[in-house]
A and B are shown apart, each in its own frame.
Chain A
């Protein structure tokens, strides 16, 4: 018996690990209950500085390469003028960046003022847009008052919701992630449905009967029924609406209004539900 176990220990332990992993994946209790293992928080804390460094270096390198390519032609014509132009371009680029940032932040502040709920601003520090999952990491967490299930919005529309938060950062599930489902209304006809992530750039709009009047371009907003997203936030526009094979529900796709691949700053919305979570934390 002992010999058998010793000879097959790798296979036996593999089966144990596989069953344990399947249990975690199928029950999903760690993420949903917010009680992620401490090791997960440690891993996030270790990775966070590297993510900041990579993102900073990537942006800096992008600027340098962009400037260099632009300057190659000018240097051939006039070296001296080229240096001056280079300085001006660098300064212009920096100012333009500042101006862009100011415009974005002004937009966020305007939105924050006009919004009925309190919001917390956060910067996006990492993206995960490949593979099955679509998430973003934010530089704000429990310390700033961000709690799980808080809606995340940008000036263009709904971005997603917080699924994990720790001391100084949080993880948000984008609306395009297959795990995301939002109660929505088509604004023109007030027809209700569920906007579901599909792991691509578009969302599916489910449970809309074939006889309902839905047109390409119709604005889709949150219905406020799920208890997470407040009513009336812009989700996107109808990109296509066709008859489906079952002749009962329409096959509809929504293009999200928020530019999910190019987010830089976002707002976390404090709703009544998330407020109570912050108090509990």
Chain B
């Protein structure tokens, strides 16, 4: 539950920052990175609910059509949960590639829904820069999350020789 409120608070701050200081610059898609991280690190029902809620929060605060981001984030969570059962993101490059693919999938889904409801949108101008930036920064942000999770865990529960 702490994670739920913690990540929601971080995303609200991120969206407030994004809509004021850097409104038109592509910056890493933090809600997507959080969802990506939770789906392979600690998959659980609460993580899925958080994915939906972060999507809803993004839609509300970014002023976009409500439901689009929650749909794409839930999709990313479920798809990455399935992928992570067979595949381990155990280095920065794999996390960057995974997050890049997740951003691309998320952008493509949003593009398809918007096209379906007759919104005239541009795929390459929006999705590609977002994918590159998110993939580039994702490993660093995920490392921060892992360090945060490590610090919050009692010393007695930390595995011997854990790398993060």
A residues whose Cβ falls under 8 Å from a Cβ of B: 9-11, 13-15, 17-18, 20-26, 28, 30-31, 36, 39-40, 43-44, 46-47, 50-51, 54-55, 58, 125-133, 135, 137, 163-164, 171, 173, 178-179, 196-200, 204, 261
Contact = CB atoms under 8 A, between A and B. Distances in A.
Chain A to chain B: the 7 pairs with minimum beta-carbon distance, closest first:
A24-B67, A25-B67, A135-B63, A14-B78, A21-B71, A50-B16, A127-B23
Nearest to B53: A39
A9 B45 contact: yes
Nearest to B70: A21
Which of A24, A40, A58, A132 has the largest number of chain B CB atoms within 10 A?
A: A132
Given A18-B75, A22-B113, A128-B63, 20 more contacts: A18-B71, A21-B68, A24-B66, A26-B113, A40-B56, A40-B66, A50-B17, A51-B19, A54-B21, A55-B21, A126-B16, A131-B126, A132-B121, A133-B62, A137-B19, A178-B119, A197-B120, A198-B122, A199-B120, A199-B121
B21 A132 contact: no
Nearest to B81: A10
A20 B61 CA distance: 19
B6 to A, nearest CB: 14
A231 to B, nearest CB: 25
B61 A47 contact: yes
Contacts of A51: 16, 19-20
A23 B67 contact: yes
Interface of B: 12-13, 15-26, 43-45, 48, 51-52, 55-57, 60-68, 70-71, 74-75, 77-78, 81-82, 110, 113-114, 116-117, 119-122, 125-126, 130
B25 to A, nearest CB: 7
Contacts of A24: 66-67, 70
Contacts of B68: 21, 25
B70 A58 contact: no
Contacts of A125: 20
Given A25-B68, A25-B113, A58-B21, A163 B55 contact: no
Contact of B20 (A13, A22, A23, A127): A127
Nearest to A199: B121
A242 to B, nearest CB: 17
Contacts of A17: 48, 51-52, 70-71, 74
Contacts of A196: 120
Nearest to A130: B24
B24 A127 contact: yes
A22 B67 contact: yes
Contacts of A197: 120
Which of A44, A47, A137, A200 has the largest number of chain B CB atoms within 10 A?
A: A47
A226 to B, nearest CB: 17
A95 B15 CA distance: 32
A21 B52 contact: yes
15 contacts: A11-B81, A17-B74, A21-B67, A26-B67, A26-B113, A43-B12, A128-B63, A129-B23, A129-B24, A130-B18, A130-B22, A131-B64, A135-B62, A135-B64, A204-B120
B12 A47 contact: yes
Contacts of B15: 47
B20 A126 contact: yes
Given A44-B61, A54-B17, A163-B63, A14 B77 contact: yes
A81 B91 CA distance: 56
A164 B52 CA distance: 22
B119 to A, nearest CB: 4
B71 A25 contact: yes
A265 to B, nearest CB: 16
Contacts of A28: 65-67, 117
Contacts of B51: 17
